[in-house]
Structure 1
Amino acid sequence: MQKAYKRLMAATIVSFSFGLNHQVSAQSDTYQVVSTSYQKPITTFETYIGNKKIETVRYAFGNAQYINDGVMYGSETDRVVDLKNSKQTVKRLAPAPGQIRKYKDAYYVMSLEDMDHSSLTKYTLDFKKVGKTKKFTGYGRHLILIDNKAYVLADHMKGYNYSIKLHTFDTKSFATLHHETITSMLFAYHMRQVGSQLKIYGIRPEHEEKLTVLSYDVKKQRNVKTMTTNQYVKGGVEKTQTLTKETELIFNQDRMYEINHKTKQVRVLYDSKDDLVDYAYDAKTKTYHVLEEITKTAEFRVKTLNSHFKPIAEYRLKKSDSVSPFRVL
């Protein structure tokens, strides 16, 4: 009887400690939800601690799609918001910006002219145009700037012929330096810089459309490695993150995956029956905030995952008819 009592007390202490730790975690679980309107000029940044909303900042800006390098913009408008500017000013730039990147003392804007043409324009940090706009063939997907060079991943469509090209331009004059046709992929979804290499994520038709990662060395100007995984990844690739020297995180609307570049294996880290909209990693708490849309009700929630990608908290967002969440920060 005494042993049973001791075991019961030990279990109670463990349970109480877990509950206390979870409560403390919830009290310090801080994140931001960004929502935009597709009919009115309004975008909101809402800051939460757990379920409690502590701040709302509004911008006279609608159709927001992207947030990076301290700016917010969308391809359906010709305006940009400098998020670091306390005046919350909205600047005008080239129409349909597909990507904006800050490099040294300037912003570089890749605009989408139409399905077959794109352009590059340089702006000051106050978004005043510098020099002439560079127009080029192809539908720009991603823009990365390294060592005074602009790398643009673009789709090329001529009739029924489709190809993927990597364009290299000089950042000062926008002169064409090089272009590479990527023949090993059927589609390319995403590109990011890892050291002196550009990682390009797509699929290969001869491998049943399984996820493929191509490594392009910018110094050697050639493909140095093409790795095809053992699994078809539904929904393409939207975001990636380095986890370890050999592994990286792949995020899309369907799931969160881990790719092991040594074993070429893909492991599911987190799966949901609902659509994944966005995620943000909190380095301080080593947790992941995942923004999800509940398909049955069209409502949104934020789930907090621990470092093992296990849900430890869930926060339902209040439904709004005026704005829709698209980012978590």
Structure 2
Amino acid sequence: MQQTALVPYARLPRAHHDRHVLASTVDAFGTAHWLLAEQAPRPGGDLPPFDAQVVSVHPGGGAVELTDLSAVRARRPRLDRLPDGGFVAAAARTRRYEDGNQVQVFDPLGRETSSFSVGDAIEHLLVDEAGHIWVGHFDENPAGIRRWSAGGALTWASDASDGARIPGLFDCYALNVSGTTAWACTYTDFPLSEIRPDRPHRPVTVRANRVRGAKAVAVHGNRVAFYGGYGEEQDRLALGELTETSVEPTDAALLTLPDGAIPGRRRVVGRGSRIYVQAEPFTAWGVFDLGSSSPA
């Protein structure tokens, strides 16, 4: 199988490497963020509310911005940035956050402005360009995929009865949010679902798909890329083309780090035509951009 290397995208400045990376992501506008703490969470123990710092590296010139967050509660948080410059941090599990404090919203100065709960078992948390918070759940929460306002109002749900239902959704494996549209690949049958909540009559378009187990998806025009899979396919990059009802495979490759190495533990984020990958020790992001690659 041919190899495709990620392109270097953003790095955590070396001056911050002495702190623990709690979470990292790339937001809707292409800025990379690292949530840092003085120490790692203790195994099996609760952290009291702690102060943390977000290091943001902007695209292009790589300008660095620092934001101090006060009294973060989640031990292993999901993180993303709001369009106004504030941040959202959420605990993936709710057992310790049953009082409505699972999701914390911070203003651009790092002060908590609101908190609410979105349900247990968060696999993905992504903020779109309009400030909606998209949450994809893994299989311990049957809610599937939902969209929330920054104030905690539920604005769309995949288990609604208005044509939004995604068949066979037990686990949101891959979620891509671009603009105000989301794309999802879900267990058990792994269809590719195009989600446009503000489109009347047909908010969800479901396409049959033969790629199983992908952890990230990217879409550009009528082209699609899936990254990941089961077992030996965890580094697979599968390419395809969209039809009205299905995804038709066109090619496949092995996606590597920029130096040609195979990543071990990794984080992945899908945004529009891009798949971002971050390998341990989680200080650098690489990117595959379907929009700049040659058609298969």
Q: How would you bin the TM-score normalised by the shorter chain? A: 0.5 to 0.7
Higher helix share: 1
Q: How does 1:141-160 map onto structure 2 within 5 Å?
A: 141-145=124-128, 147=130, 149-155=132-138, 157=140
Q: Distance in 1 between matches of 2:237 and 2:152?
A: 37
1:133 equivalenced with 2:115 (yes/no): yes
Q: How does 1:1-329 map onto structure 2 within 5 Å?
A: 31=8, 45=13, 56-69=14-27, 70-73=32-35, 79-84=52-57, 91-92=69-70, 93-95=72-74, 96-114=76-94, 119-130=102-113, 132-140=114-122, 141-145=124-128, 147=130, 149-155=132-138, 157=140, 163-171=142-150, 173-181=151-159, 182-204=166-188, 209=189, 211-220=190-199, 223-231=203-211, 233-234=212-213, 236-237=214-215, 239-242=216-219, 244-252=220-228, 253-262=234-243, 264-271=247-254, 276=256, 289=258, 292-293=261-262, 324=281, 327-329=284-286
Q: CA deviation at 1:116?
A: 9.5
Alignment RMSD (CA, Å): 3.8
Read off the aligned partner of 1:256 and give its amino acid letter.
L
Q: Distance in 2 between matches of 1:184 and 1:116?
A: 29
Q: Distance in 1 between matches of 2:66 and 2:180?
A: 36
Q: CA deviation at 1:246?
A: 0.7
Q: CA deviation at 1:91?
A: 4.0
Q: CA deviation at 1:82?
A: 2.1
Q: Distance in 2 between matches of 1:212 and 1:30?
A: 28
Q: CA deviation at 1:121?
A: 1.8
Q: What TM-score do you get using the length of structure 1 for normalisation?
A: 0.55
Read off the aligned partner of 2:26 and give its amino acid letter.
N
Question: Gaps (5+ residues) in structure 2?
Answer: 1-5, 42-49, 58-62, 160-165, 229-233, 266-279, 287-296
Read off the aligned partner of 1:142 and give its amino acid letter.
L
Q: Distance in 2 between matches of 1:30 and 1:249?
A: 16
Higher strand share: 1
Read off the aligned partner of 1:240 and give its amino acid letter.
V
Q: Distance in 2 between matches of 1:291 and 1:65?
A: 25
| Structure 1 residues 153 and 127: alpha-carbon distance in aligned structure 2, compared to 1, 3 A threshold | same
Deviations 1:22-61 (A, max 9, x none): xxxxxxx984685xxxxxxxxx65xxxxxxxxxx544332
Asked whether the 8 Å contact 1:202–1:213 carries over to 2, the reply is yes
Taking CA–CA contacts closer than 8 Å with sequence separation of 6 or more, which of the two structures ends up with the larger relative contact order? Answer: 2
Q: Distance in 1 between matches of 2:260 and 2:95?
A: 30
Question: Gaps (5+ residues) in structure 1?
Answer: 1-28, 35-43, 46-55, 280-288, 299-322
Q: CA deviation at 1:188?
A: 1.4
Q: Distance in 1 between matches of 2:68 and 2:260?
A: 26
Deviations 1:133-188 (A, max 9, x none): 1023232222333545333222463xxxx5243333332x3233443324432321
Percent identical residues: 7
Q: Distance in 2 between matches of 1:294 and 1:165?
A: 28
Asked whether the 8 Å contact 1:65–1:326 carries over to 2, the reply is no
Q: CA deviation at 1:74?
A: 7.2
| Structure 1 residues 123 and 30: alpha-carbon distance in aligned structure 2, compared to 1, 3 A threshold | same
Q: Distance in 1 between matches of 2:7 and 2:239?
A: 25
Read off the aligned partner of 1:59 and give its amino acid letter.
H
Q: CA deviation at 1:213?
A: 0.8
* Number of aligned residues: 227
Deviations 1:74-126 (A, max 9, x none): 79656342235868676442323213222224222233243796832211122
| Structure 1 residues 292 and 151: alpha-carbon distance in aligned structure 2, compared to 1, 3 A threshold | same
| Structure 1 residues 325 and 293: alpha-carbon distance in aligned structure 2, compared to 1, 3 A threshold | farther
Q: Distance in 2 between matches of 1:105 and 1:294?
A: 31
